[in-house]
Amino acid sequence: MIRVGFFGADEFSAGCLKAILPLRFHTPKIISHLDVITRSPKLTGRGLQHLNEFPVAKFASANNVNVLRAEKNVDFGNLPDYDLCIAVSYGKLIPSSFLRSLPYGGLNVHPSLLSQYCGAAPLQRALLNQDDVTGVTVQTLHPTEFDRGAILARDSYKIKPSETYRSLAEELSRRGGKLLYDILLNRMYDCNIPGYITLPPVLPLSYAKKVQPSERQINWSQYDTFKIVRNFNTLGQLYTFKRYKSRKSRNGELKLRRVVLDDIREANGYSFSAGSIPGSFIVDPANKQRLLIKTIDGNVSAGIIKVESLGSVSGDRMSNPTKKMFGGIYDNVFVSDK
């Protein structure tokens, strides 16, 4: 049996932890001791009044698994002795000195088919790039770099057209947990056992850079309906702009007011009037609370509309604005600032 330190943070890591719990508490009992190590919870919200605990810590506590904290490199020296560590979406590089102290080093579950999408946002990049296939990889932990370990196992997955960030994360967490379970059960982490193998990369090296706030903006002249809905399903709220005239404007100068759109769906079946351009909007004929917006190949509908300086408005109010809302600019067209 082995002593395991499991490093994690989010729901993805909690799903992988769930998969290996039977090896700690049931037969066959492969893990003699299991700790979950995560970072300290942060104060969030207005006035920093709410302590926001990491999902993996909540799951561990609910399942009688001890939770420890490690923020700085010095904290790793105070951890118990382990045979193996597992890092899943931990968010920090495990120190090489700590890895060297472990008889079997470390494992990592990464939600991509490495070497594709190394880095911080593999799930988002697979969805935003409209890939047909992605997957999950279990690799060894490299002592000095992220996502440069030896590949021990992988599983590919065909992305559904309706896929969301949450559904993809849950599916790959389940699959990654299954791979991790099998590796622990069969001692595939031990390079000294007969039959130990590593796998070559199946895709070229690429980097999944962190999503930038500007990627949430809708470019109406370029984005089709599928891309807008996929971006919403991946990133959550998207934003656009509406032209308006400020009271302080001189010479009729127009400015842009930011509009946040939420609950975005495909809404084909309605034809805008001739001459309407992508970004044109009207109240949704099926629901006055929603807004129907023309795309380059169809329509989308938004159920929640938040206008800068004005707050939440209904689709009906957005389509029939008062002069105060946009300074008498009634063109009913969203635009980009790009």
pLDDT tens digits, residue range 303-316? Answer: 999 999 999 999 99
Token representation of residue 204: 């070229």
Q: Are residues 320 and 179 in the same domain?
A: no
| Whole-number average pLDDT of the chain | 95
Q: Single out the residue in 147, 168, 185 at which a domain terminates.
A: 185
Match 């809708």 to its residue by tokens: 218
Q: Are residues 153 and 235 in the same domain?
A: no
Q: Are residues 11 and 155 in the same domain?
A: yes
Paired with 44 in beta bridges are 50
Q: Single out the residue in 169, 185, 201 at which a domain terminates.
A: 185
State the total domains in the chain.
2
Residue 118 located in a structural domain = yes
Pick from 109, 181, 182: nearest CA to 149: 109
Residue 267 located in a structural domain = yes
Residue 173 located in a structural domain = yes
End-to-end CA distance of the chain: 58
CA angle 210, 214, 218 (to 5 degrees): 120
CATH of the domain at 269: 3.10.25.10
CATH of the domain at 108: 3.40.50.170
Q: Are residues 178 and 217 in the same domain?
A: no
Label residue 56 by pLDDT band (50, 70, 90).
very high
Q: Are residues 165 and 18 in the same domain?
A: yes
Query: Can you give the pLDDT at residue 34?
Result: 98
Q: Are residues 54 and 118 in the same domain?
A: yes
Answer yes or no: is pLDDT of 324 > 70.
yes
Convert the pLDDT of each residue in 186-233 to its tens digit.
Answer: 999 999 999 999 999 999 999 999 999 999 999 999 999 999 999 999
Residue 201 located in a structural domain = no
Q: Are residues 173 and 219 in the same domain?
A: no
Residue 199 located in a structural domain = no
pTM: 0.94
Residue range of the domain that includes 179: 2-185
Q: Are residues 161 and 217 in the same domain?
A: no
With pLDDT > 90 as the criterion, what percentage of the chain qualifies?
86
Q: What is the mean pLDDT of the segment spanning 242-265?
A: 88
Label residue 45 by pLDDT band (50, 70, 90).
low
Q: Are residues 37 and 165 in the same domain?
A: yes
Q: Are residues 218 and 278 in the same domain?
A: yes
Q: Are residues 166 and 220 in the same domain?
A: no
Residue 300 located in a structural domain = yes
Query: Can you give the pLDDT at residue 247?
Result: 75
Residue 194 located in a structural domain = no
Answer yes or no: is pLDDT of 23 > 70.
yes
Label residue 249 by pLDDT band (50, 70, 90).
low
CA angle 107, 112, 113 (to 5 degrees): 90
Q: Cα(155)–Cα(199) distance, rounded to whole angstroms?
A: 12
Q: What is the mean pLDDT of the segment spanning 263-271?
A: 93
Q: Are residues 29 and 164 in the same domain?
A: yes
